[in-house]
Structure 1
Amino acid sequence: MSEFKPQIFSGVQPTGNLHLGNYLGALRKFVALQDQMDCIYCVVDMHSITAQLVHDDLKGQTRSITAAYLASGIDPVKHIVFNQAAVPQHAELAWIFNCVARIGWMNRMTQFKDKAGKDRENASLGLLAYPSLMAADILVYRATHVPVGDDQKQHLELTRDIAMKFNLDFAKKIRESGTGIDITVGDEPVHAFFPMVEPLIEGPAPRVMSLKDGSKKMSKSDPSDLSRINLTDDADTVARKIRKAKTDPDALPSEVDGLKGRPEADNLVGIFAALSDRTKADVLAEFGGQQFSQFKPALADLAVTVLSPITAEMRKLLDDPAHIDAVLKDGGERAGAIAEKTMKDVHNIVGLL
């Protein structure tokens, strides 16, 4: 087997059940990327304690996310699947990046402002330093591409800023170490240790909204289970949730412009389009003029057809936690070998014995 050179890194927090939005927006893309590059997919359990320290069953949630990865089609043999805490180099590099990053950079992160709310002084230091750990997650493997959504673009820019400052601060040491790589920043060639990570955005990501409120994203944290379709929901539950999904009294329009100002209709048409790999225009060409009483059963049948195999495989995997643990252990060992080499070079560059 050829040498594994990680190019893609991405992770999912083990908080709550993964839902249809996670599958369409992330997992399905993760699977597709396997055919193009070497991928590392992580369950970022250390991130999950930044906003909520105490969890009822963090280990169980970690296994559940892993099961979703595998059931969706991620190959843990050709690629790497592991949990973040199994590789301590993530935390080690994050500390070095805490010393590289500036407090002003962290204070500008909109996610910190949103999650900390008005009581910023009572937020955990971990929540403030979250983007530094995210940078370490990526760069401890010297990954070059990260599939990201809109909510993580600012953090990825910060990852690039941290990498660039490290490269410039230690430029002489990097050259002396012989471990650098030649990259281009703008039009300028730079000899660097860490790459300038690029966001990977493959086509417009489907924005899946709550089934109860078309103006809000589908969320694991929404108190109403009817707001989302969980990957663990059985066929009857999926159909029931779609049947109860909020709509308006008008028939479906025949053109996409007719969805403006109708967020719930737009959401359900968008879900149908994403699940069937079609455009909204194609869906409306078929269902335009019909009432939701006709459209919802078709959407339910489609959702069940696509999701049922994943749900069945997830349940099978979750009934065998020893197998999931073995996958994570193997992935952690393989990821750790790469991370250990990176940190050996970082120690040398920084001057740590």
Structure 2
Amino acid sequence: MENQQTARKKIIFSGIQPTGVMTLGNYLGAVKNWVALQEEYHCCYSIVNLHAITIRQDAKALRENTLAAYALLLACGIDPEKSIAFIQSHVQAHAELSWVLSCYTQFGELSRMTQFKDKSARHADNVNAGLFTYPVLMAADILLYQADLVPVGIDQKQHLELARDIAQRFNGLYGNVFTLPDGYIPKLAAKVMSLQDPTKKMSKSDDNPKAFVAILDKPETIIKKFKSAVTDSETQVAYREGKDGINNLMSIYSAVTGKTFQVIEDEFAGKGYGEFKLAVGEAVAETLRPVRERFDAYMKEKAYLEDCYRKGAEKAQALSQRTLDKVYKKVGFLAK
């Protein structure tokens, strides 16, 4: 009975790169929502380390960062009993389907991808074919699991549209092979901006370390970063146009406390920005404290992590193999 109920749930796929740093923006804008989705959907979450090598990586650091990223997923609340949590390179079907789909993707489609243009400009010394075909691998990630929904930010929307186009093209030729995925935009997705330039998204690649909060930062570091956050020349804590710094801090405070903007405005009426920034910093530090503690505990239990990601890969392989077998049959590959 339980399996029948699970089968009726919609499938969600999402992946995160093993970069070694997850920001407060990643947590509030994505991973925190992933945890909530586990109760409602059949979720597949992957550490997408195949995507990571489009940029040159140090092998030892990539292995360490992949394990740390997996531990961090669990520390944030992803339950390997409720969700399929796995490492992308452990499931061969991703690379295999990516090759087939690349033969059903037009060169012109890939050349129009804005992320390819942006990354090519940033990594001009290594504009490789993997960087160019990255969106095809992303399409394979999604389509392998017959995902109904994919949590995406604005920067990945174009890639999801391409995945749908590829799926429609393939289905048009061979019948109903792939589920067409839709973007999932959570109702309470927090858009977290830079603490030093609140017109820009918070990013781990920011040159100024005060601009972003890493999810594993110590409480004193988090509070210090919020104390130095850019605001404006007024003194009123209010959400309105032209107050980008305060708007950002209010959004963050609302996301970690559940308080509405009106409640926040009332709470800090007549109080200065210094008091408000301290309150935001303390609330964020307290929200992230259990995540950091669980992460430290998981990193001491390497055998447990290994057991989890191996079991996750087995589940992912079983699910993805069904799709791959169907695709191989449709294109005319001889069965093993």
TM-score w.r.t. length of structure 1: 0.89
For residues 33 and 317 of structure 2, what CA distance do their matches in structure 1 show? 25
2:200 maps to what in 1? 216
Following superposition, the deviation at residue 224 of structure 1 comes to 2.9
SS at the partner of 1:117? helix
1:178 maps to what in 2? none
Counterpart code for 1:194:
F
Q: Is the 8 A contact 1:90 1:140 kept in 2?
A: yes
What is the correspondence of 1:40-119 to structure 2 with a 5 Å cutoff? 40-54=44-58, 57-117=61-121
Q: Is the 8 A contact 1:251 1:288 kept in 2?
A: no
Following superposition, the deviation at residue 99 of structure 1 comes to 0.3
For residues 323 and 51 of structure 1, what CA distance do their matches in structure 2 show? 30
For residues 154 and 273 of structure 2, what CA distance do their matches in structure 1 show? 30
Identity in percent = 40
SS at the partner of 2:49? coil
- Does structure 1 residue 245 correspond to structure 2 residue 229? yes
Deviations 1:230-282 (A, max 9, x none): 1111211211221222233321244x22xx22322221111111111233333
SS at the partner of 2:131? helix
What is the correspondence of 1:18-37 to structure 2 with a 5 Å cutoff? 18-37=22-41
Deviations 1:116-144 (A, max 9, x none): 12887951111111110000001111111
Deviations 1:292-350 (A, max 9, x none): 11112211221122111111111111222222222111100110111122211111111
For residues 173 and 309 of structure 2, what CA distance do their matches in structure 1 show? 36
How many residue pairs get aligned? The number is 330
Counterpart code for 1:151:
D
For residues 95 and 121 of structure 1, what CA distance do their matches in structure 2 show? 25
Please, which runs of 5 or more residues in structure 1 have no aligned partner?
172-191
For residues 121 and 107 of structure 1, what CA distance do their matches in structure 2 show? 18
SS at the partner of 2:45? strand
1:158 maps to what in 2? 162
For residues 164 and 312 of structure 2, what CA distance do their matches in structure 1 show? 26
2:280 maps to what in 1? 299
- Does structure 1 residue 127 correspond to structure 2 residue 121? no
2:244 maps to what in 1? 263
For residues 200 and 157 of structure 2, what CA distance do their matches in structure 1 show? 19
Following superposition, the deviation at residue 220 of structure 1 comes to 1.8
Q: Is the 8 A contact 1:248 1:265 kept in 2?
A: yes
**Alignment RMSD, CA only?**
1.8
For residues 77 and 323 of structure 2, what CA distance do their matches in structure 1 show? 29
Change (3 A) 1:10 1:119: closer
